[in-house]
A and B are shown apart, each in its own frame.
Chain A
Amino acid sequence: MMELLAQVEYGPLAVKPYSTEWLIGLIVTFLLAAGAAIGLSKVPANFRRPIVSIGTFLCGLIYVLYWLWPRPVNLKPDQVPNGMVEQVGKGLSDTLPLLADVANILTSFLLGLGVYSLARIHFGKIIKRQSDRGFSWVLIVSATMISVFGFVDYILRSQDKAGKLVDRENWGFFNVGQDIMFDGLLLQMDSVMFSLIAFFILSAAYRAFRIRSVESTVMMASALVLMLSLLSPIMFQWNTMIAQMAKGMNIPNADPSIPYPGGFFHNLQISDWANWVKGNLQTPALRAVDFGILLGALAMGLRLWLGLEKGGVSV
C-alpha cells in the first residue's frame, strides 16, 4: 500500500474539473460513500464502537508513523525512493495531505448538520410564534442575503479573467451588496464585539483587583507595576528625573539625556521592575502551565488513539 502511494503523485482526485473522468470519479466516490454510510448504519450497536476504535487507531497510526519513520533526505520530485524505508517514508508524507483533505470534506458535511440545527431552532421559533422570534427573522433573512450575494459575487469574480472587478467602478449590484454586507457590516460588527473587551477589562479589573488576601495583593501589585511600565512617556520622564538625581550625586556614568541613571539608581526604574516580573515570574509560570497543558493533551490523545477513552457516556 505504502509503496503504491509512494509511486503516485499526490492528488488521486487531481483530474481536470468537469471532464468525463472527473464526473465518473465523482459518481463512484458518492456511491462508495453512500454504501459505506448505509453499511455502517446497519452495523449492530455493540460492533460500532470497535469499528470506530479501529478506524481511529489506523488514522492515528499514520500520523505516529509519519513522526517516527525516517523521511527520505533531499528527495527530488523526479527521483525514485531507495528501498523500503524511503518508500514508506515517502508514502506517509503523501498520505497526510490526503487525510487532511478527507477530514476537510467530512467537516463540510458536518457543517450542513450544524446549519440544519440552526434552521430548525429558528424556524421553530417563528412557526410557534415564540417570544424573541424577531431575532430569528433577522438571522434567517441576513443569512439568506449574505449567502446569495456572497455566492453571486464569487461566481462573477471567478468569471472575471481580465481583472475588471479589481476596480470598484466596474462593480455591479451584487458586488456592491456583498461589499456592504460583508466589509461594511459583518467585519465592522466583529470589530465592535472585540472592542467590548476593553470595557469588560475595566469593569473586571475594578472588581478583581482588591486587597482582600495576600494572593490578591500580589496580583494587584504586579498588575500595577506592569500597567505603570506601559506608560512609557511618563516613565521616560521618571527615569530622566532619577538620572538627574544620580548625576547630582556624582554617580558614575549617570546621564539624564539618554536617560541612564547608573549604579543603585537603576533599581528605581519601574520599567526594569516590569521587565523583571515578565522575565522571571510571568514567563517561567507560563512555561510551567504550557508543560501541564501539553502533557494533558498528550495523555488525552493517547487515550483517544488507543480507544481507551470511553467519552462522555461513561461518566
Chain B
Amino acid sequence: MQWLDTGWFGMLFVITMVAFILYNIHRAEKRGKDLFIRRIPGLNAIDDAIGRATEMGRPVLMVPGIGDLNAISVQAINIYAHVTKAAAQFGTPIRLCVANAAVYTVAQEVIRDVYQEQGVPEKFDTDSVRFLTDRQFAFAATVSGLIFRERVAAAFFLGEFFAESLIFAESANSIGAIQVAGSTEKSQTPFFIAACDYVLIGDEFYAASAYLTRQPLLVGSLVGQDWCKLLITASISIGFLWLSVDRTRMVNEHRAPLEAASPEVWAALTDDQKGDAESAEGWAKTDKPELIKKSDTFVHRLFNPMYNEKQLIVERQKKPAPAGEGQ
C-alpha cells in the first residue's frame, strides 16, 4: 500500500472492519452464548445425513475442495471435524478425500484428534483420510469412482470447488446420496443448487462453524461480519447519494449557461472554458468542454489518487560499487 493522496481510504475502511470483528469477538466472549443466529437448513441436515449413513451402513464422503491450504480449506476441515464427531459417536465410516498435500496433512491430524477426543481412537482408520491427486479432473474422476464403488450414503462438498463440482454432485445424486454442498466460488453455486439437497450460499459457509458449535468467539466474529456488512451498505448508500449530488451539480453547472448565458457566468469562466468564444451569447452557442469532469467528483477522487508514483521523484544515495568493479 502506498499512502498517496486518497489511498488511505481503503486502509481505514479495512482497519475499521477488523476493529468491528475483534470488538464483537471480545463482546461475545463476555456475554456468553446468547447471540442469535438464523436457521441454516443445510447445517441442520448434517445429523440427518449421518443418521441415514449409519442406518444404511455406508460411508459418509467429505471433500474440502481442491484449493491450497488457506482459510477456506481450514474452515471446511472445521466443519468436517464436526461431521466426524457425529460419525465417530455412531461408528459410521468416513471418507475424507483431499486434493492438496498440505490440506491432507492438516485434515489427517484434525480427524485423528476428533476420534481421540471422542474416546474411540481405535476406530480411526488412517485410510479414511486420503490424498488422491492434485490434478483437478483426475481428482474428479477418482472421487466419482469412489462414490459409485462405495455407494456413499451422504456426501459433503464444502470448500473451494471449480468445474468438478457438478461431476461430484451428479455422481452422488445418481446413487441417491443425501448431499450438503457449498462453494466459495460463486460461479459453482448454481450447479450445486441444481444438483444437491442442501446448499450453503456465500458466507453461510463461514458461518457454519459458529452455527454448529455456538462458541462465543465464533458467534462474535459472525456478528462482527454483520456489522461490516452494515458498514458496506452504509458506504454504498452514502457514496450513491454523494455522487448523485455531485453529478447533479455538474449537470446544472453545464446546463445553466445554456439556459442563461449571463455576464456573471461568463466572468467566472477560465480561458480554456471560454475557448474561441468572444462573448457570453457567443459562448452559449458553441460546443463546450464539461465544466466539471467526472474525475472532479468526490467519490471518484476517493478511489483514484491524483498523483501516481511516476510523478514523484525522491533523491537517494547510490549504492557503493562492489570492490574491484570498474578496474
Contacts and interface: CB of A to CB of B under 8 A. Distances in A.
Contacts of A309: 74, 78
A233 B201 CA distance: 35
Contacts of A205: 194
A300 B76 CA distance: 11
Contacts of B145: 135
B281 interface: no
A2 interface: no
A308 B166 contact: no
Interface stretch (B18-26, B262-270, B271-279, B291-299): B18-26
Contact of A204 (B72, B105, B194): B194
A193 B207 contact: no
Interface in B116-173: 117, 126-127, 129-138, 140-141, 145, 149, 163-164, 166-167, 169-170, 173
A1 interface: no
A46 to B, nearest CB: 14
A299 B316 contact: no
Contact of A74 (B81, B84, B113, B312): B312
Contacts of B113: 312-313
A204 B169 contact: yes
A197 B163 contact: yes
B39 interface: no
A70 B18 CA distance: 20
A220 to B, nearest CB: 11
A197 B137 CA distance: 11
B223 to A, nearest CB: 10
A188 to B, nearest CB: 11
Contacts of B209: 315
Interface string B63-85: 00000100110110110111011
A296 B314 contact: no
A113 B130 CA distance: 11
B195 interface: yes
Given A286-B186, A301-B71, A315 B78 contact: yes
B141 A78 contact: no
Nearest to A66: B1
Contacts of B140: 193
B45 interface: no
A127 interface: no
Contact of B101 (A74, A111, A120): A111
Nearest to B2: A71
B195 A208 contact: yes
Contacts of B111: 312
B213 interface: yes
Given A289-B186, A299-B224, A313-B117, A113 B1 contact: no
A237 to B, nearest CB: 29
Interface string B283-327: 000000000000000000000000001101111111100000000
A203 B172 CA distance: 13
Closest 3 interchain pairs by CB?
A312-B81, A296-B206, A292-B203
Interface of B: 1-3, 11, 14, 17-18, 21-22, 25, 68, 71-72, 74-75, 77-78, 80-82, 84-85, 98, 100-102, 104-105, 108, 110-111, 113-114, 117, 126-127, 129-138, 140-141, 145, 149, 163-164, 166-167, 169-170, 173, 184, 186, 189, 191, 193-195, 201-203, 205-207, 209, 212-213, 215, 217-218, 221-222, 224-225, 228-229, 232, 309-310, 312-319
25 contacts: A70-B3, A74-B310, A82-B316, A111-B134, A113-B131, A117-B104, A121-B127, A194-B163, A200-B169, A208-B195, A289-B189, A290-B186, A293-B186, A293-B203, A295-B17, A296-B206, A297-B72, A298-B18, A298-B228, A300-B75, A300-B206, A302-B21, A303-B218, A309-B78, A311-B78
Given A193-B137, A299-B224, 9 more contacts: A68-B1, A80-B316, A113-B101, A115-B101, A197-B167, A200-B169, A204-B195, A297-B72, A299-B222
